Amino acid sequence: PGWCGAQGTEQLLHSISAVATGHRSLAVLVTGVHEEGINDFTMSTLVDGVRVAHYSSRTREVRPTQGWAAQALDAGFLQKKTQEFWGHEEGSKAQTQRWMQLYNQTGGVHTEQLHARCALGDQTPNYLRFQYAYDGQDFISFDLQTGTWVAAVQPAVFQKQYWETHKIWTRYVQWFLQHECLEILRSLVQQGQGVLERQVPPEVSVSRRAAPHGPVTLSCRASGFHPRPIHLSWVRDGGDVLAETSSSGILPLADGTYHTQSSLEIGPRPDGPRYACRVEHSSLPAPALVWAPEKGPLPPGVLAAIVLAVLGLAGAAGAGVWLWRRKSAGESRSLQGSAIGLSPAG
């Protein structure tokens, strides 16, 4: 699968969250974007999908992003990791240059990505991964059981042979997956257990929007939930499960919770079946159904026409009242004049 862009990152985060169900996982996501004279390098560390540390070529420093993570990772450790990532950043530039040569590329923007992960289930290490991508496609990964590299594409065979011949990097990867990754994960989970295990149910709403002479779009919004994994799906008349038309992905909010939105396009028939958004989340005792309204807000053009018509009627009514008042006032003055003319002189 492609790795680049928001969709690729979302797929990675979804896989991390999926592993975290029933487990505790730590993932390191590294991205290097390189062009002649321009380099952008970032690293994010996540525990159960929650970002706990970050490094970028702008800050040149590994910084915790959660208070409890700062308590779990002491200043000496963060300084050590900062110095390591200075080296990783420079190495990413050189490695991208080598991979460009393997693909016979001479210029342009190129991206190297790394996804490293470990997890604990019942205190047993599992889900160990160390995988590279190049320009959004799988490139090479490490098989911990055999201690060898697996080339996903033909150009990666040279890199496989190099790392298996010069074993320095291979030994580091083995040590990271079997020891350092798990030690960091245990420390972070111990410090942040209360935060990681909190259950906050989503607030869910379903809206309906009809395009003039076009399809109807149903939108299901779930917000403020924790932990991150959630599943939204669409059902028709409580039975058939339908494929969504689009999704925002799961996005973080400033308070540490998450938001997501799923949309579904349906036909404009007013007497058609009923639709509902089905929500599955660990905070809910059972999947919840939130039914879509059978009628939505009026399209802007129709609404504007109604507003103008109402204003027109109000204007006509106002003009009638004004004319009636003028006519009434004129008749009153005529009667007053007649009364004055008939009155005897004093």
CATH number at residue 277: 2.60.40.10
Residues 29 and 144 in one domain: yes
- pTM, entire model: 0.69
As a whole-number percent, the residues of the chain with pLDDT over 90 amount to: 59
Q: Is residue 321 part of a domain?
A: no
Residue 99 domain-assigned? yes
Q: Does residue 174 fall inside a structural domain? A: yes
- Of 45-54, 66-75, 263-272, least confident by mean pLDDT is 263-272
Q: Is residue 168 part of a domain?
A: yes
Average model confidence (pLDDT) across the chain: 81
CA distance 112 to 119: 24
**279 strand-pairing partners:** 232, 288
Are 140 and 272 found together in one domain? no
pLDDT at 137 (0 to 100): 95
- Residue 323 placed within a domain: no
Highest mean pLDDT among 48-52, 133-137, 211-215, 226-230: 133-137
- 263 backbone φψ class: left, alpha, beta (φ>0; ψ -120 to 50): beta
Does residue 342 belong to any structural domain of this protein? no
For residue range 89-142, what is the model confidence (pLDDT) as tens digits?
999 999 999 999 999 999 899 999 999 999 987 655 667 999 999 999 999 999
Highest mean pLDDT among 160-164, 195-199, 328-332: 160-164
pLDDT score at 191: 93
Query: In the listed set 158, 177, 196, which residue is the last one of a domain according to the structure?
Result: 196
Query: Which CATH number belongs to the domain containing residue 52 in this structure?
Result: 3.30.500.10
Q: 207 and 192 share a domain?
A: no
Instruction: State the average pLDDT over residues 181-192.
Output: 94
Q: Please indicate, yes or no, if residue 79 is contained in any of the structural domains.
A: yes
Nearest-10 crossing angle of helices 75-102, 156-165: 130
Are 191 and 90 in a shared domain?
Answer: yes
- Residue at which a domain ends, from 164, 196, 228: 196
Number of domains within the chain: 2
**For the chain, how many residues are written?**
346
Enclosing domain of residue 230: 203-291
Residues 52 and 168 in one domain: yes
Asked if residue 182 has pLDDT above 60, the reply is yes
